[in-house]
Amino acid sequence: GIPPELIIEAHGAFGSSSCINCKKEIDADRVRDEIKSGDVPVYCDDESCGGLVKPDIVFFHEGLPDAFFDNRNKDLKGADLLIILGTSLSVSPFNELINYVTKTTPRLLMNLEVVGTVPSKFAKNGLRLGRTDNSRDYMIQGACDDGVRALCDLIGNNWRNDLENLVKTLKSKTKSTKKSINVSKAFPDMKPAYMDYDWRKKKDY
């Protein structure tokens, strides 16, 4: 797959965890196991802190990671091709990214429907799909998985076989679980922006 250092997960992921007070990085496997086992909330292992620990995921109304803003201009200006997969292109700042590539960089949309063609105050130019002046925007309409496979077939050089083998390998390593996580128990101090509720007063955890 893609090396982790080349991926910017704008909404975070369970791959790392941190204390929300002292910002110390906490072993992600420990946090994941404790949450799944119901041993929550998870606290910082620094005795002088004792703050709550959560996976480095972005909750509603939390800011996106600095890496997203620090790298978007540099990375996209140097892109040879922009691939846009499975999106409505209606939410800022993500819909702005299509304008960060150069004016000659090809842009390929893989999606169930055409999106991003209407300019907005964020995506000023929009995709030019279906326009007579379109010189660089393309679309593979359908499911993203099918689009990626079709692109691999076009590239050739065993890309399709490599992709299918990689998918099989990753699926075999993934441990599926149907046990849901009670967010209110795992993160009692996290007050959702849409609810005026103090989880610290909750008594059932």
Would residue 61 show up in a list of annotated catalytic residues for this protein? no
> Which residues, other chains included, contact 138 with Cβ-Cβ below 8 Å and sequence gap of 6+?
106, 107, 108, 109, 129
* DSSP structure string for 38-98: T--S-B-S-TTT--BEEEEE--TTPPPPHHHHHHHHHHHHT-S-EEEES--S-STTGGGGG
Q: Using alpha carbons only, what angle is made at residue 183 by residues 38 and 44, rounded to the nearest 5 degrees?
A: 65
- Residue 19's Cβ-count burial label (10 Å; 0-12, 13-18, 19+) is buried
Answer positive or negative: Cα dihedral of 35, 66, 60, 52: positive
Per the CB < 8 A criterion, the answer to whether 126 and 99 are in contact is no
Answer positive or negative: Cα dihedral of 95, 97, 102, 108: negative
Among residues 1, 4, 10, 11, the one annotated as catalytic is: 11
Active site residues: 11
